[in-house]
Amino acid sequence: MRTLSLTVGLVSMTAATMLSADTSWPAPIQALVDQGLEVHSEFEAPGGLDGFAASHRGREMAVYLTPDGEHAVVGTLIDARGNDLSAAPLDEHIRSAQEAEVWRRLEQSHWIRDGDPKAQRILYTFTDPNCPYCARFHEQSRPWVEAGRVQLRHIMVGILRNDSPAKAAALLGADDPVTALQDHQASEGGIAASAQPREIEEQVLANNQLFEGMGLMATPTTYYRNDDGRLERVEGAPDEARLAAMMGTSSP
């Protein structure tokens, strides 16, 4: 196959180790899975190969099964013009799928909407009640939010100080969480920590677990979809250029 360049690694299997009845992957792929490879999806590949979008310890990789089903090659598939034929399947089957899953988890978290519910530009931002940079980002966003162009969804977490969880719960449990959040950000002392029903406290705990499970370290951490629909993440209060990119336009 002169049009194909397959690199990085090779796994060979004999007929004696072919796919067993209770194994979901062909034997060479299963051998890699047994070594810790995670297979995300199968895709069509040229040259009679079967492609598999996979990852190992966060590193994305394409795996190709040869037509005889007895060998697998890990690496990049190149055509006669030098085009990378592995990038698009990895983007489609791993990155896009992972981004969709992150967005779904953000949607299902416990948040307070700041802005017009009909605003099509949505940003999810992890907010600690004691975070000065969260307050700064809140202030930075006012022109777009007040113009009805953007809605911020504040995922309330309690991680910075001992009273952060109780303050986050007080905001989520307020009779009017939207107004409570605005008042909190506008005042110097902010909302007072107070006991809340167990359900509300568990919402803060779930948000904290989501924050930690996503490997995040700082508040605010904000997620949004860019103009191409791809997921972007911004840590901290953004600079002017990044702020405009997040909001989708220059300041109204």
Whether 17 has a pLDDT exceeding 50, the answer reads no
Whether 65 has a pLDDT exceeding 90, the answer reads yes
> How much is the pLDDT for 224?
97
Please tell me whether residue 244 adopts helix, strand or coil conformation: helix
Q: What is the mean pLDDT of residues 11-31?
A: 58
Whether 84 has a pLDDT exceeding 80, the answer reads yes
Domain boundary among 93, 119, 148: 93
> How much is the pLDDT for 1?
32
> How much is the pLDDT for 13?
38
The verdict on 145 and 214 lying in the same domain is: yes
The verdict on 129 and 186 lying in the same domain is: yes
Whether 77 has a pLDDT exceeding 60, the answer reads yes
Closest CA to 10 of 72, 63, 59, 62: 72
> What confidence category does residue 12 fall into, taking pLDDT thresholds of 50, 70 and 90?
very low
> What confidence category does residue 94 fall into, taking pLDDT thresholds of 50, 70 and 90?
confident
The verdict on 168 and 69 lying in the same domain is: no
Whether 7 has a pLDDT exceeding 70, the answer reads no
CATH no. for residue 86? 3.10.450.70
Closest CA to 125 of 144, 189, 57: 144
The verdict on 124 and 175 lying in the same domain is: yes
> How much is the pLDDT for 59?
84
| CA separation for the pair 59, 75 (Å, rounded) | 12
- Using CA atoms, how far residue 150 sits from 54, 79, 108, 126, 248, in Å, is 36, 43, 19, 16, 9
> How much is the pLDDT for 91?
84
pTM above 0.75, yes or no: no
The verdict on 78 and 34 lying in the same domain is: yes
Answer yes or no: is 104 within a domain: no
The verdict on 167 and 225 lying in the same domain is: yes
Q: What is the mean pLDDT of residues 191-204?
A: 96
The verdict on 242 and 215 lying in the same domain is: yes
Answer yes or no: is 212 within a domain: yes
The verdict on 131 and 202 lying in the same domain is: yes
> What confidence category does residue 83 fall into, taking pLDDT thresholds of 50, 70 and 90?
very high
Domain span at 228: 109-247
> What confidence category does residue 168 fall into, taking pLDDT thresholds of 50, 70 and 90?
very high
Question: 218-236 pLDDT, tens per residue?
Answer: 999 999 999 888 999 999 9
Look at the chain and report how many structural domains it folds into: 2
Answer yes or no: is 102 within a domain: no
Strands 150-156 and 221-225: unpaired
Whether 102 has a pLDDT exceeding 90, the answer reads yes
The verdict on 140 and 195 lying in the same domain is: yes
Domain boundary among 68, 93, 118: 93
> How much is the pLDDT for 93?
84
Whether 35 has a pLDDT exceeding 90, the answer reads yes
Answer yes or no: is 19 within a domain: yes
Answer yes or no: is 13 within a domain: yes
Q: What are phi and psi of 4, to 5 degrees?
A: -120, 140
Answer yes or no: is 98 within a domain: no
The verdict on 87 and 119 lying in the same domain is: no
> How much is the pLDDT for 6?
38
CATH no. for residue 188? 3.40.30.10
Answer yes or no: is 17 within a domain: yes
The verdict on 158 and 41 lying in the same domain is: no
The verdict on 82 and 127 lying in the same domain is: no
Whether 2 has a pLDDT exceeding 70, the answer reads no
Domain boundary among 30, 61, 93: 93
> How much is the pLDDT for 57?
77
Answer yes or no: is 3 within a domain: no
| CA separation for the pair 18, 30 (Å, rounded) | 10
